């Protein structure tokens, strides 16, 4: 499971992304991004999740997001990418 930090804004997203590829590779057949810790975020979180999804799918793995805050779901719907970051229980 990949755990997103409590703050994921444009200012810190670039620091978070480099370790993403390695983290995805270390996951077995499914990559779950845990968004439950998110407190402060902007649309950059969508870019991070979409990059995570791309890496997972390229590695032949299933991708989903756990603990999606309501505001993140609103952003995903606004940008038309909600179906690309499926929520898991």
Q: How far apart are CA 18 and CA 23, in angstroms?
A: 9
The pLDDT of residue 88 is above 90: no
* pLDDT tier for residue 17 given thresholds of 50, 70 and 90: confident
Residue 68 is part of which domain span? 2-88
The CATH number assigned to the domain holding 81 equals 3.30.750.24
What total number of domains does the chain contain? 1
Q: List, for residues 32-63, the tens digit of each pLDDT value.
A: 999 999 999 999 999 999 999 999 999 999 99
Which 3 state secondary structure label does DSSP give 56? Answer: helix
User: What pTM was computed for the model?
Assistant: 0.93
Q: Which residues contact 46 (CB under 8 A, 6 or more apart)?
A: 75, 76, 79, 81, 85
């Amino acid at each position: 499971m990949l755990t997103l930090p409590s703050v994921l804004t444009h200012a810190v997203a670039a620091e978070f992304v480099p370790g993403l590829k390695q983290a995805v590779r270390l996951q077995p057949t499914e990559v779950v991004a845990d968004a439950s810790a998110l407190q402060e975020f902007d649309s950059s979180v969508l870019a991070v999740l979409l990059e995570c999804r791309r890496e997972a799918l390229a590695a032949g793995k299933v991708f989903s997001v756990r603990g999606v805050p309501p505001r993140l779901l609103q952003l995903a719907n606004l940008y038309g990418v909600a179906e690309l970051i499926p929520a898991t229980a």
